[in-house]
Amino acid sequence: MMRGAKGVAACAGLWMAVTAATAGAQQAADVLSMGGAVTEIVVALGQGHRLRARDATSTWPPEVTDLPDVGYVRALSPEGVLSVEPALILSEEGAGPPEAIDVIRAADLDFVEIPDALTADGILRKIETVGDALGVPDRAAAMSAEVEADLVDAMADAAQPEAEKKRVLFVLSTQGGKINASGTGTAADALIRMAGGVNAVTEYAGYKQITDEAVGLAAPDVILMMDRAGADDTDHGGADDELFAMPAIRLTPAAQSRSVIRMDGLLMLSFGPRTAEAIRRLNAALYAQES
């Protein structure tokens, strides 16, 4: 009888171990991450093994591109998102369209929205929110401390005397020969200021198509653009010769000195764990310093 009881207990223990292992295996790949910075944070927290899928903006680190892609975060389809069967969705603020998000939220899963950020404090809030959602708040706290220190150092090193700051025009696109540029309240605007520059356009908020006259009045010393390597550059500035030949740009100080900086869009605009690196790179490019 004792032997039977021990056998039952052993079997029960084995069953519990198998069940726990199965549950752990299921949890290991239960997260859909949407938003480049969100996905970077998940991986940086050591939770990349839990990712089941990603959105099209999640391209760093490179290994995440092997995951299924549910589409662009602002143009989602409920069918595409739900087809990967996530238990938890971590989504950057502004995912859409709204009707698609309503359907996704109504499904039997956890949906956590990660607040947008245009400041160092905002980046730390992103990390904290992701860490809490993944159940690793201690790791998130340690990571936040490291990221905060790096950001403080990067911004201190990038500081410039007011009179020496370069005027920077961030050009989102040149589609149809028209300049779509950043005003205030954008990630581009925030990064330019963090890197020791001045946004050349402050008359409006967000991104907007502006006139040739407005570009001339902005008088940028430098044109800043996303590096779209491998993409069709026809609508995004193209070669430097084509950029500086545009009527809107050819008379600016930037054209006279042929000053254009192209940076990886995700690094530059996502405001995630690598933002200190983006600050240093942009500052070095603006002021010809060694990074």
pLDDT value, residue 29: 61
- Is the CATH number of domain 27-157 3.40.50.1980? yes
For residue 127, is pLDDT > 70? yes
Give me the phi and psi of 225, to 5 degrees please.
-140, 160
Among 27-41, 60-74, 160-174, the minimum mean pLDDT is found in 27-41
> In sequence order, which residues have a C-beta less than 8 Å from that of residue 242 and are 6 or more positions away?
none
80/258 Cα distance (integer angstroms): 44
**What global pTM score does this model have?**
0.86
Is the bond preceding 161 in cis, omega lying within 30 degrees of 0? Answer: no
Among 10-19, 107-116, 160-169, 249-258, the minimum mean pLDDT is found in 10-19
pLDDT value, residue 229: 55
Among 17-26, 56-65, 108-117, the minimum mean pLDDT is found in 17-26
Mean pLDDT of 165-188: 96
Among 14-28, 78-92, 149-163, 218-232, the minimum mean pLDDT is found in 14-28
Please tell me which residue, 75 or 5, carries the higher pLDDT value: 75
Q: What percent of the chain has pLDDT over 90?
A: 82
pLDDT value, residue 209: 97
For residue 128, is pLDDT > 50? yes
Angle between helices 275-287 and 137-158 (to 10 degrees): 10
34/41 Cα distance (integer angstroms): 11
Q: Per-domain residue ranges for the chain?
A: 27-157, 161-287
How is the chain classified by DSSP, letter by letter? -HHHHHHHHHHHHHHHHHHHHHHHHHHTT-EEEESHHHHHHHHHTT-GGGEEEE-TT---SGGGGGS-B---TTS--HHHHHTT--SEEEEETT-S-HHHHHHHHHSSSEEEEEPP-SSHHHHHHHHHHHHHHHT-HHHHHHHHHHHHHHHHHHHHHH---GGGPPEEEEEEE-GGG-EEEE-BSSHHHHHHHHTT-EES--SSBSEEEE-HHHHHHH--SEEEEEE-TTS-GGGTT-SHHHHHHSTTTTTSHHHHHT-EEEEEHHHHHS-STTHHHHHHHHHHHHHT---
For residue 19, is pLDDT > 60? no
pLDDT value, residue 288: 81
Q: How confident is the model at residue 239 (pLDDT cuts 50, 70, 90)?
A: confident
Q: Do domains 27-157 and 161-287 have the same CATH topology?
A: yes
Mean pLDDT of 260-266: 96
Q: How confident is the model at residue 228 (pLDDT cuts 50, 70, 90)?
A: low
Supply the mean pLDDT for the chain: 89
Q: What is the CA radius of gyration of the chain?
A: 23
- For β-strands 88-92 and 31-34, DSSP reports them as parallel
Fold of 161-287: Rossmann fold (3.40.50)
Please tell me which residue, 29 or 129, carries the higher pLDDT value: 129
